[in-house]
Amino acid sequence: MNADLIKSYLYLHAVLPQLTTIAARDEQARAAIDGRAASIQLRTVRGPRARLHANGSGLSFARELRPLPSLGLLLPSPAVAVRMFGGGRATPLPWWGLWRPGIIGLLRVLTGRLAFYLTASKEELERAACFDAAVGLRLAVMVYAIAVLTEHLPEARQAAADAPEGVAEFRFADGSAGSVRLSCPREGPMRAFLVDGGVTESQAAPANLIVEFQDTRTALGVLSGEWDIWLAIGQAQIKIRGHFPLAQTILRIMGRVGQFLG
């Protein structure tokens, strides 16, 4: 599987799902969704698919498409998807709903706010009073990306197959941002989910591995690559408790995410 194809899965299945958090917590996003019902579908030729559904007060994400969305966008190739989400010049082809400019505008607002949370500098985030929320979102992208790689990157898939069964929870010691869980089943790829996102009974099983960041500044340093994760662990800025063999597997796959999502 080539790099663009893997990146396209990461953008659509690890980054895009975080729009549900943006829609729930960001004022501009909430205002754009308020009272609006719409479904937006993205389909990549020989690549990933995704569906967003606004119900007037919130947003949901799914990988499965349904007939006749409010807005349907075609991405001609994984490379186009990568350029579109990676900040390059690329335009999706609307195959349905071009006559609904309001929904196109909604998508622009949502993706614009997501881009701000994921790419703005520490100073910009602090001025906007959303530093903790943005770091929590970036951690969620990382955890979701680990799960996506176990679906589509052969070495990550093999690592997940060899890993012990368990549930890892990534959280902040000071509670400054939400927690994210990563489920490693006995068979199949890992699955990521937000702790407060309405999990299923199996996902709600107690975590047997805790990865705890001292605070959001520590997490940002590690996620941005400015700090070495093993050094942070050695200095107790990140504490790992529980099933260490599972932690080793997850951290090894985590190291591969940065090679695809800069």
Q: Are residues 223 and 142 in the same domain?
A: yes
* Structural domain ending residue among the three candidates 84, 119, 154: 119
Q: pLDDT at position 40, please? A: 94
Q: Which domain holds residue 52?
A: 3-119
Q: Residue 201: what pLDDT?
A: 46
Is 202 inside a domain boundary?
yes
Residue 191: in which H helix or E strand, if any?
strand 191-194
* Total domains, the chain: 2
List the structure tokens of 138: 């970036």
* Residue-wise pLDDT tens digits, 50-86: 999 998 888 999 999 988 899 999 999 999 998 888 7
* Least confident window among 3-12, 83-92, 100-109, 114-123: 83-92
- The CA distances from residue 105 to 31, 110, 244, 258, in Å, are 12, 9, 46, 31
CATH code (residue 102):
3.30.1050.10
CA distance 194 to 179: 6
Residue 50 lies in a domain: yes
Tell me the pLDDT band of 203, cut-offs 50, 70 and 90. Answer: low
What HEC string does 56-96 produce? CCCEEEECCCCCCCCEEEEECCHHHHHHHHCCCCCCCEEEE
- 108 plus 174 within the same structural domain: no
Assess if residue 65 is contained within a domain.
Answer: yes
What residues contact residue 65 under an 8 Å CB cut-off, 6+ apart?
A: 41, 43, 49, 51
Does residue 130 have a pLDDT over 90? yes
Q: Which of 70, 87, 119 is the last residue of a domain?
A: 119
Q: Do residue 237 and residue 200 come from a single domain?
A: yes
Among the candidates 73, 100, 119, a domain finishes at 119
